[in-house]
């Protein structure tokens, strides 16, 4: 087995420290074993049943956190029956563990000691957990807008968490710079070792459905690793003569960031470059899918579609699924939202599978932000005034803060030691700022994200954050 460039076919050894070809192309694993039912190890848990298909050196001991065969649970929505593949029951709460378990097992066997990764959250949390298990140092670059619960999960595993302001792509640029300095880039989308592990979802489905292929698989797609893993897994089964056709693959994106959908409806072979719009489906907020051409080809080959759903439908889909006892994060729910649009093309007797990719615990139903808390309080007590009044209130509260800072040095007589009242005065100022923003119709957290992005860009070009 070795790594082969998907653009120019040049090959590299499995233990290369390069994360992509010299030509810029992404790698695939060449010489990967296919699927042979005779090699399934029924005594091994989870994806390790299919170890014979994985790019693991023969003497390597798997790095495991107790992976399981994820259950297939039936559900029904507006008369449409489907099977949920409950991937969020994986060790860190998302399907990413299948890829990470394989990748980190290989890296430990190769003696890698330090890895870097960029992620909107789930892949980073997964890598942080498995590297902690393997004793490998890990740094994860996340967009600053990533769910706080995911960031906390990454940090809890002991990984170094680097929050990168601005769009998701800034985190990708930051990790590539870190990789250029010598760390192993354990990318969940560039690195093909993890991708090989995702094929096991297809093998499991085939076994769970009584050695049958489903008619349809409806799934979220950002970089499309889940789709490609499932596509390649079913292709293995077909090549082994175990199934005669592939399932139709329906890739679902979020409308604010849908490069694959744009390409699909325009008949393009390559993704169309789009602006990276903010969406509740943070896991598929990807403006440039790495293996976009292969994703589009797989969808077309199987007779599927690429869809894009608005955030309102995604949130409604998540709620509808939760009412059926299944709690997913919004990214997973884009596929649920898409089901309503697929009703005309899915037959009543067809087998449809929706992988539930990430746990709802990773992105709780409602996390009130401080501006919302202030807004509710202000409305409830009739404290909303004109912007002018709130602006004056803010200035007077900032004055109080300055006064407490002065008192903290006894008006310059001693070194700074904060007074007990300083925290209260800062709280008053924050309240006044939030009330002012609300009276002006401004979303403070959105403004803050934009400002941090601006400072970061300025630091990069001029070396300091202030304006001239
Ligand atoms: Zn190449």
Mean pLDDT across 20-40: 96
pLDDT at 468: 63
- What's the half-sphere exposure (Cβ side, CA atoms, 13 Å) at 411? 0
Q: How far apart are CA 458 and CA 467, in angstroms?
A: 8
**Domains assigned to the chain:** 72-92+195-362 (3.40.50.1100), 370-462 (1.10.287.1080)
pLDDT at 364: 66
pLDDT at 172: 93
Residue 12 CA to ligand 1 centre (angstroms): 10
pLDDT category of residue 434 using cuts at 50, 70 and 90: very high
pLDDT at 366: 55
Contacts of 381 (CB under 8 A, 6+ apart): none
Residue 20 CA to ligand 1 centre (angstroms): 8
Residue 1 CA to ligand 1 centre (angstroms): 17
Q: Tokens 């890296």 map to which residue?
A: 107
Residue 232 CA to ligand 1 centre (angstroms): 21
Residue 133 CA to ligand 1 centre (angstroms): 33
pLDDT at 461: 84
33-42, 235-244, 290-299, 415-424: lowest mean pLDDT where? Answer: 415-424
Residue 177 CA to ligand 1 centre (angstroms): 20
Residue 26 CA to ligand 1 centre (angstroms): 7
Contacts of 232 (CB under 8 A, 6+ apart): 195, 198, 199, 202
- DSSP lists the bridge partners of residue 358 as 94
Q: How far apart are CA 315 and CA 317, in angstroms?
A: 5
Per-residue pLDDT tens digits for 329-357: 999 999 999 999 999 999 989 999 999 99
225-235 CB burial, b ≥16 within 10 A, e <16: bbbbbbbbbbb
7-11, 30-34, 375-379: lowest mean pLDDT where? Answer: 375-379
pLDDT category of residue 45 using cuts at 50, 70 and 90: very high
Q: N- to C-terminal Cα distance for the chain?
A: 55
Residue 291 CA to ligand 1 centre (angstroms): 14
Mean pLDDT across 55-77: 96
Can you read off the two tokens belonging to residue 241? Answer: 């003569």
Residue 35 CA to ligand 1 centre (angstroms): 27
pLDDT category of residue 295 using cuts at 50, 70 and 90: very high
Separation in Å, CA 326 to CA 74, 196, 252, 437: 11, 28, 19, 37
pLDDT at 371: 81
Q: How far apart are CA 300 and CA 306, in angstroms?
A: 9
Residue 30 CA to ligand 1 centre (angstroms): 14
Can you read off the two tokens belonging to residue 443? Answer: 């979303």
Residue 294 CA to ligand 1 centre (angstroms): 16
Residue, of 393 and 373, whose pLDDT is higher? 393
Phi, psi dihedral angles at 466 (to 5 degrees): -75, 160
Other Cβ atoms less than 10 A from the Cβ of 219: the count is 25
Mean of the per-residue pLDDT values of the chain: 94
Residue 13 CA to ligand 1 centre (angstroms): 14
pLDDT at 452: 83
Residue 373 CA to ligand 1 centre (angstroms): 52
Residue 189 CA to ligand 1 centre (angstroms): 16
Beta-carbon neighbours within 5 Å of ion ligand 1: 5, 7-8, 10, 21, 23, 25
Residue 187 CA to ligand 1 centre (angstroms): 17
- Which spans in 96-165 are helix H? 96-110, 122-134, 148-156
Residue 215 CA to ligand 1 centre (angstroms): 35
Mean pLDDT across 256-278: 95
Residue 136 CA to ligand 1 centre (angstroms): 29
Contacts of 153 (CB under 8 A, 6+ apart): 92, 93, 121, 125, 128, 362
Separation in Å, CA 160 to CA 122, 137, 194, 306: 15, 8, 21, 36
Residue 298 CA to ligand 1 centre (angstroms): 21
Can you read off the two tokens belonging to residue 143? Answer: 């967009």
pLDDT at 3: 97
Residue 8 CA to ligand 1 centre (angstroms): 4
158-175 CB burial, b ≥16 within 10 A, e <16: ebebbebbbbbbbbbebb
Q: What angle do CA 24, 189, 219 make, to 5 degrees?
A: 135
Q: Tokens 């403004």 map to which residue?
A: 447
């Amino acid at each position: 087995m070795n790594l082969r460039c998907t653009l120019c076919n040049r090959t590299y050894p499995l233990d290369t420290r390069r994360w992509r070809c010299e030509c810029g192309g992404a790698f695939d694993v060449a010489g990967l074993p296919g699927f042979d039912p005779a090699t399934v190890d029924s005594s091994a848990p989870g994806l390790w049943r299919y170890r014979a298909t994985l790019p693991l050196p023969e003497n390597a001991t798997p790095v495991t956190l107790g992976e399981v065969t994820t259950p297939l649970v039936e559900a029904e929505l507006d008369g449409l029956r489907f099977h949920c593949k409950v991937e969020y029951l994986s060790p860190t709460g998302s399907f990413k563990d299948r890829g990470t378990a394989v990748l980190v097992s290989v890296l430990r066997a190769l003696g890698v000691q330090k890895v870097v990764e960029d992620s909107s959250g789930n892949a980073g949390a997964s890598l942080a957990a498995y590297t902690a298990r393997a004793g490998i140092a890990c740094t994860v670059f996340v967009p600053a807008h990533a769910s706080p619960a995911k960031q906390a999960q990454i940090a809890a595993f002991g990984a170094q968490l680097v929050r990168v302001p601005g769009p998701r792509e800034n985190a990708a640029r930051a990790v590539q710079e870190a990789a250029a300095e010598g760390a192993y880039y354990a990318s969940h989308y560039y690195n093909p070792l993890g991708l090989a592990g995702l094929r096991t979802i297809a093998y499991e489905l085939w076994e769970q459905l009584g050695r049958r292929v489903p008619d349809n698989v409806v799934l979220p797609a950002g970089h499309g690793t889940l789709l490609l893993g499932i596509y390649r897994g079913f292709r293995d089964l077909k090549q082994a003569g175990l199934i005669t056709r592939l399932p139709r693959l329906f890739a679902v994106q979020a409308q604010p960031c849908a490069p694959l959908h744009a390409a699909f409806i325009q008949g393009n072979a390559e993704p169309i470059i789009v602006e990276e719009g903010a969406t509740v489906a943070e896991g598929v907020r990807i403006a440039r899918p790495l293996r976009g051409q292969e994703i589009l080809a797989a969808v077309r080959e199987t007779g599927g579609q690429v869809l894009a759903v608005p955030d309102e439908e995604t949130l409604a889909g998540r709620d509808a699924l939760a009412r059926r006892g299944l709690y997913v994060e919004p990214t997973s729910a884009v596929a649920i939202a898409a089901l309503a649009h697929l009703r005309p093309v899915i037959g009543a007797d067809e087998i449809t599978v929706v992988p539930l990719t990430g746990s709802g615990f990773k992105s709780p139903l409602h996390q009130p932000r401080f501006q919302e808390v202030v807004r509710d309080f202000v409305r409830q007590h009739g404290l909303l005034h004109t912007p002018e009044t709130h602006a004056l209130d803010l200035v007077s509260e900032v004055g109080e803060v300055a006064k407490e800072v002065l008192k903290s040095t006894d008006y310059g007589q001693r070194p700074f030691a904060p007074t007990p009242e300083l925290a209260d005065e800062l709280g008053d100022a924050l309240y006044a700022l939030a009330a002012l923003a609300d009276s002006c119709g401004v979303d403070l957290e959105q403004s803050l994200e934009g400002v941090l992005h601006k400072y970061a860009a300025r630091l990069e070009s001029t070396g300091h954050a202030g304006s001239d």
